[in-house]
């Protein structure tokens, strides 16, 4: 019994420390910068993206043209798998320029060796983390883990603060 436990723990550590993972029909790093194109190929992303119905009443009031968005999440995190596709759908429907979008995935310790400098400045407590900054890099607001009201409403409150 002892040997089985040690074997199981060893396999778990080995698998969880791998640098890439297969998600759906695509493979990308567990930690690091993730392209939206690759993310959209994952089964979990496609499912939630298609299922989510945006609140179109906010669409005309959300202007994200002068903002950069950084998203920090993890493919192991159930909140990321739920909120990230929804958030992407909302900003796409608002006409957001995806060239101003950065997606970083972290490990379970909310760290990433490949993007340490980027991660440390955000003081991550929970993920997913959606950070909206102006073009100068000054943070205007963030949605942490789950929206307070809705993604649309929370984004609108952030951009209205200016």
Quick one: residue 152, left, alpha or beta (phi over 0 = left, psi -120 to 50 = alpha)? alpha
Kindly state the tokens that stand for 98: 């995806």
How far from 69 is each of 4, 51, 96, 97, 115, CA to CA, in Å?
46, 23, 10, 10, 16
As a CATH number, domain 19-161 is: 3.40.30.10
Alpha helices for 17-150 (secondary structure H): 36-39, 43-51, 78-93, 116-120
Contact 69, 62 (CB under 8 A): no
pLDDT at 26: 45
Contact 30, 19 (CB under 8 A): yes
Across the chain, which has 162 residues, the per-10-residue mean pLDDT values are: 46 38 49 91 95 89 92 94 97 92 90 72 89 93 95 94 70
pLDDT at 21: 44
pLDDT at 122: 81
SS3 50: helix
Contact 137, 129 (CB under 8 A): no
pLDDT at 44: 94
Contact 36, 73 (CB under 8 A): no
pLDDT at 18: 35
**The model scores a pTM over 0.85:** no
Residue from 46, 97, 50 nearest 69 by CA: 97
């Amino acid at each position: 019994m002892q040997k089985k436990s040690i074997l199981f723990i060893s396999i778990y550590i080995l698998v969880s420390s791998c640098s890439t993972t297969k998600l759906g029909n695509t493979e990308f790093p567990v930690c690091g910068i993730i392209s939206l194109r690759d993310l959209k190929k994952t089964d979990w992303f496609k499912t939630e993206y298609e299922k989510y119905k945006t609140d179109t009443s906010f669409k005309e009031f959300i202007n994200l043209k002068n903002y950069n968005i950084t998203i920090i999440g993890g493919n192991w995190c159930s909140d990321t798998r739920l909120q990230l596709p929804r958030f992407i759908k909302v900003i796409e429907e608002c006409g957001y320029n995806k060239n101003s979008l950065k997606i970083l995935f972290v490990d379970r310790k909310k760290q990433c060796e490949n993007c340490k400098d980027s991660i440390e400045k955000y003081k991550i407590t929970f993920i997913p983390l959606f950070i909206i900054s102006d073009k100068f890099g000054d943070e205007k607001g963030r949605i942490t883990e789950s929206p307070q009201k809705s993604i649309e409403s929370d984004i609108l409150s952030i951009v209205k603060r200016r």
